[in-house]
Amino acid sequence: MKTIIEATNLSKHYGMKERQLALNTINLKIETGEFVSVMGPSGSGKTTLLHHLSGMEKIMKGSVKINGKELSTLSEKRLAELRLHQLGFVFQHIHLLKNLNLFDNILLPAYLAKKESKKQIHLQALELMEKTGISKLANHNITEASGGQLQRVAICRALINSPTILFGDEPTGALNSAAAENIMDIFTMINEEDTTIVLVTHDSKVAAKTERVLFMLDGKIVAEKYLGKYSRGSGHLKEREEALTKWLKTIGF
């Protein structure tokens, strides 16, 4: 296994409140192909951690390396290139462009990356839409799709440049439980294809489908639970959920 993300003594405070750390000396290694979730109470630093691991926020203290590359040494331009070519992002609130149909929304990052021919990009987008079960919606605009369908569009868009790491911040947070389950199945499938995934979630049902669960409190990772890989339809989900709930109780959550 190769380490793909490494945070060392990572700390962050907002504004002048140096004593109130949003991240407090985080040390973390994530291996290629892992599926990691981050849980913890509101304000514990989950989103801040995700933003630092994904190069979205400037590193104030400590270090983050992606594939051995120290993010703080990269210029804004190089960082933007890294995000565009190697990282994918899915958020709770889906930021799609209103004036583009769903297909064009998916294509946009590929046009920006200019890596493949137009034909290749179109084929790839169609393949992703097929895989995520939304191929019939290509010409629809964003007002003609459900929240779950739009989240699948956002996942296709995040994957169009074949990122090596996919970051999700509460990607199922605004969805009903059936749609959330469907999105988690898609994440599982993507992870089976070796994309490393890191996602923040409040939902233990979501975390139960991930391989390793980190628990944050006051800017620190205070505990972690290794659940192992989940395979769709394996029938072990109930046991995983129970094991996770029990563990969360023992750490007082």
Ligand X SMILES: Nc1ncnc2c1ncn2[C@@H]1O[C@H](COP(=O)(O)OP(=O)(O)OP(=O)(O)O)[C@@H](O)[C@H]1O
Look at strands 196-200 and 165-169 and give their pairing.
Answer: parallel
Question: Considering only 41-49, 90-98, 99-107, 179-187, which stretch makes contact with ligand X by CB under 6 A?
Answer: 41-49
- Work out the burial of residue 56: count CB atoms within 10 Å of its CB; fewer than 13 is exposed, 13-18 middle, 19 or more buried: middle
Q: According to the binding rule CB under 6 A, does residue 65 interact with ligand X?
A: no
Of the residues 48, 105, 132, 161, which one makes contact with ligand X according to CB under 6 A: 48
Closer residue to ligand X in complex, CB, 40/109: 40
**Span interacting with ligand X, options 45-53, 103-111, 153-161, 235-243, rule CB under 6 A:** 45-53
Q: Is 43 in the site for ligand X (CB under 6 A)?
A: yes
For ligand X, the binding residue among 1, 16, 42, 93 (CB under 6 A) is 42
User: Minimum distance from CB of 213 to ligand X (Å)?
Assistant: 14
**H or E stretch covering 151:** helix 147-159
14 interacts with ligand X by CB under 6 A: yes
The answer to the question of residue 40 lying near ligand X (CB under 6 A) is yes
228 within 8 A of 211, measured Cβ to Cβ: yes
Comparing CA positions, the residue from 96, 118, 117 lying closest to residue 105 is 96
171 binds ligand X (CB under 6 A): no
Q: Among residues 56 and 108, whose Cβ is nearest to ligand X?
A: 56
Neighbours of 7 (CB within 10 A): 22
Q: Which stretch binds ligand X (CB under 6 A): 46-54, 77-85, 89-97, 128-136?
A: 46-54
Beta carbons of 218 and 13 less than 8 angstroms apart: no
Does residue 47 bind ligand X (CB under 6 A)?
A: yes
C-alpha 232/C-alpha 236 separation (Å) is: 9
d(CA 184, CA 83) in angstroms, rounded, equals 23
CB of 79 to ligand X, least distance (A): 19
Length of the chain: 253
- For the record, the structure tokens of 252 come out as 């007082």
CB of 187 to ligand X, least distance (A): 19
Q: Tell me the C-alpha distance between 105 and 92, whole Å.
A: 17
Q: Tell me the closest approach of the beta carbon of residue 99 to ligand X, in angstroms.
A: 29
Q: Which stretches of the chain bind ligand X, using CB under 6 A? A: 14-15, 22, 40, 42-48
